[in-house]
Amino acid sequence: MSLALDAAAQDLLFREAQTANTFTDEPVTDEQVQAIYDLVKYAPTAFNQSPLRITLVRSEDARKRLVAHAMGANGSKTLAAPLTVVLSVDLDFHEKLPRLFPALPNVKDDFFSEAGYREVAGTQNATLQAGYFILGIRAAGLAAGPMTGFDFTGVDKEFFGDGKQKSFLVINLGKPGADAFFPRSPRLSFDEAATTV
């Protein structure tokens, strides 16, 4: 085996892990979510931007407000999950760069003074962090049900009215419930996905 990670950990994070569609009613605690974040925050982003923001949707009122913007079955899945999080990009992430990237004190102004470029860069890196977050959920022994089937413009108005955060992913998480997983779909082979130049 050419991987340093043992086979059990590979199974937990990748081979046996799947998107969950149902969950048990076992609660997901704030401590669990913090442990997930405290693990995945070390994964890389450009200039250590760290633009991902995580909104825990816990109250019944907040969940109903979120579900009002869900498409199809995503609403019922969200209402039944023990915890739902909205992932968003902080469009003012650059304000924290003097602390997060002290090696280049002027990075905030030299690279990220234009709002349009900042949104593109922040969205790319927050999306990268979302992948890490899903792996962190799996590392915690939980299952993730990530969904893009939401009206994110509506979600932003509902939860981020100041326009400084832009949502892009909703994740249900918890212990998988009955019939949580669909049969695994095929994946591309290495030869189909990789090219040497």
Tell me the CA distances in angstroms from 152 to 56, 82, 85, 193, one per residue in order.
16, 21, 13, 30
pLDDT the model gives residue 1: 65
pLDDT the model gives residue 43: 98
Rounded-to-integer distance, Cα 39 and Cα 34, Å: 9
The sign of the CA dihedral 109, 96, 37, 21 is negative
DSSP states of the chain as a string?
Answer: ---SS-HHHHIIIIIS----S-B-S----HHHHHHHHHHHTTS--GGG---EEEEEE-SHHHHHHHHTTB-TTHHHHHHHSSEEEEEEEETTGGGGHHHH-TTSTTHHHHHH-SHHHHHHHHHHHHHHHHHHHHHHHHHTT-EEEEE--B-HHHHHHHH-TTSSEEEEEEEEEESB-TT--PPPPP---HHHH----
Q: What is the pLDDT of residues 106-143, one digit of tens each?
A: 999 999 999 999 999 999 999 999 999 999 999 999 99
Tell me the CA distances in angstroms from 9 to 12, 97, 124, 125, 162, one per residue in order.
5, 33, 27, 25, 41
Name residues of the chain where pLDDT drops below 50: none
Please report the domains of the chain, with CATH numbers, ordered by start residue.
27-177 (3.40.109.10)
Strand order in the sheet with 83-90: 52-57, 83-90, 165-174, 143-147
pLDDT the model gives residue 64: 97
Bridge partners of 167, per DSSP, are 88
